[in-house]
Structure formats: C-alpha cells, structure tokens
Amino acid sequence: MKQINVRVDDEIHAGIERRAEAAGLTVPEYAKQVLADESNDLRHRFLTAGAHFVDAFADAFTEEFGSPSADRGPVAAA
C-alpha cells in the first residue's frame, strides 16, 4: 500500500473536515474516498456521458416536464 502526503492551507483543511464529518468519515478516510473516486475511470466515463446527455437533451426535458422548482416536491407515483 502506498501513502500520499498533501499540504493544504487552513481554509481548505476546514472544508475537508466539514465534508468528512458530514459523510461520517475521518479526514483520512474521506481523502482516501475522494482520491479513489477521482482515479475511477468508469466513474469519469459515466459523468462525461451524463454531461453529454444533459447538453443534448436538457431542452427537450424542460419542454416536456418543465423546469425544476424549489417549491415542487417529488412526483407521486400513480
């Protein structure tokens, strides 16, 4: 197993601590998860495909279903 040491400023560290706490992880666990996600080629292909889909079909979805609204909840199943 390899080890990576990274220096960050106090503001970045505080943000990492908040995100780790929100995820129920320690800072090292959170950092390990973020780095694992970033090195996952399948995840990157999925996100790229999703971005392409949104670029290609966002207007059609908005026309069909309307724009998202903060005051609208999830659509109830019929």
pLDDT band of residue 78 (cuts 50, 70, 90) is very low
**Against a cut of 0.95, is the pTM above it?**
no
Length of the chain in terms of residues written: 78
How far apart CA 22 and CA 36 sit, in angstroms, is 18
Q: What is the pLDDT of residue 73?
A: 55
**Residue 16 clears pLDDT 50, i.e. is over it:** yes
Q: Convert the pLDDT of each residue in 20-45 to its tens digit.
A: 999 999 999 999 999 998 888 888 88
Listed range (8-12, 58-62, 63-67, 68-72) with the worst mean pLDDT: 68-72
Domain range annotation of the chain: 10-65
Q: What is the pLDDT of residue 72?
A: 55
How far apart CA 78 and CA 72 sit, in angstroms, is 17
